[in-house]
Structure 1
Amino acid sequence: MLGGLHIQYYVVCKRKLWLYSKNINLAPDNDKVLEGAVLHDRAYRQVKERDIHIDNQIQIDAIDKQYIREVKNSSKMIEADQWQLIFYLYELKKRGINKKGLIQYTKERKTEEIELTPNKVTELKKMVNEIEQIIYQTKPPKFVKKRYCKSCAYHDFCFAGEESE
């Protein structure tokens, strides 16, 4: 069963997606992950419905009458953040819950509204099909160096045996 991190990792790095899908989880001790956990714990304290888990598939930071809400440190991974929230909106819609989404970026002090559109649903379905193809491969996707590799929890794993940076 796919979750929000599958969607996010697909957008960020397909190799990271594959590793995560194989339960190779190097992230818990990563500084960025720990920073995000603290942010998540402090966010939306005024909202009654927070930290909602649905069917062991999605974990929403907060929900109110109009929005599902996600909090992020920065917008460096904005496309991945958007698709993660689109996935949540889609999954809720399948369960009869229609909402809009809000992503709050604390460092930039900005908020982005996300709406589920038919075009986004079509694109998301294609994305889900590609994710399923990737996670069922016997070997990880080829290593592709990206600008954010150095801050990734999988950095040492991915760079082992690769040419030096």
Structure 2
Amino acid sequence: MHITGKHINYYHICHRKLWLFGSGLSFQQDNEHVQDGTLLHLSAYPQRARRFREVQLGGIKIDFYDPVDRVVHEIKRSQKLEEASVAQLKYYLRVLERHGVAGPTGVLEYPKLRRTQDVTLTEQDRADIETWEAGVAEVVAYAQCPPIIDKPFCKQCAYYEFCYVHE
């Protein structure tokens, strides 16, 4: 199984969402919040297309990578689920390390908030990422879909209607 940044992100948000995504069910294209994020990604930093590179390694896709300074730039709409965003970015840094990139760093960017957050890897992060990868594989292999977590952010989720169809 190729673990992507989305897998790591969803692992930190909702195991049900991770399981559905890992099972090939995706409603991303129809979700207005996902579409807004895609538009933000395309329009927030138009000059990036010339300066940075898109990188695909081991199942991940990094949209904005500065190969000179070894910096991954990850754009997010909101900092509401920041822990998951940081984990996703740390995962990208670890994958780069595994492919021979020495000392990569990252920047989480929130263009709408005009805020950034620097992200680096520690030895503890490297150990945690091993645990996350095992956790992702375990959740995706569940025989049944995990239960609904019923959190306030569920209403923004692309899987909301799927999870709450009975209501």
Same fold (TM over 0.5): yes
Task: From 41, 47, 55, give the equivalent of 1:52.
Answer: 55
Structure 2 residue runs of 5 or longer lacking an equivalent are none
- Aligned to 1:24, the other structure's residue is in SS state coil
The equivalent residue for 1:107 is 112
The alpha carbon displacement at 1:156 in A equals 1.2
Tell me, in whole angstroms, the C-alpha distance in 1 between the residues paired with 2:155 and 2:5. 23
Q: Is the CA contact 1:40–1:61 (under 8 Å) kept in the aligned structure 2?
A: no
Q: Is the CA contact 2:57–2:95 (under 8 Å) kept in the aligned structure 1?
A: no
The alpha carbon displacement at 1:95 in A equals 0.3
The equivalent residue for 1:147 is 152
Q: Deviations over 1:108-133 (max 9, x none)?
A: 11100000111011111111111111
TM-score, normalised with respect to structure 2: 0.91
The equivalent residue for 2:95 is 91
Q: Deviations over 1:82-130 (max 9, x none)?
A: 0000000000000011310001111211100000111011111111111
The equivalent residue for 1:8 is 9
| 2:67 pairs with 1:62 | no
RMSD: 1.3
The alpha carbon displacement at 1:26 in A equals 0.9
Q: 1:23-62 residue pairs with structure 2 within 5 A?
A: 23-47=24-48, 48-55=51-58, 57-62=59-64
Which structure's relative contact order is higher, taking Cα pairs within 8 Å and 6+ residues apart?
2
Tell me, in whole angstroms, the C-alpha distance in 1 between the residues paired with 2:161 and 2:38. 22
Deviation >6 Å, runs of 4+: none
The alpha carbon displacement at 1:50 in A equals 3.5
The alpha carbon displacement at 1:51 in A equals 3.3
Q: Is the CA contact 1:44–1:62 (under 8 Å) kept in the aligned structure 2?
A: no
- Aligned to 1:32, the other structure's residue is in SS state helix
Q: Deviations over 1:26-85 (max 9, x none)?
A: 111100111111111124432322333224x11112111221111111111111110000
| Number of residue pairs aligned between Structure 1 and Structure 2 | 161
TM-score, normalised with respect to structure 1: 0.92
The residue identity in structure 1 corresponding to 2:86 is Q
Q: In terms of mean alpha carbon deviation, does 37-46 or 138-147 score higher?
A: 37-46
Q: Is the CA contact 1:86–1:116 (under 8 Å) kept in the aligned structure 2?
A: yes
Structure 1 residue runs of 5 or longer lacking an equivalent are none
The alpha carbon displacement at 1:151 in A equals 1.1
- Aligned to 1:52, the other structure's residue is in SS state strand
The residue identity in structure 1 corresponding to 2:29 is P
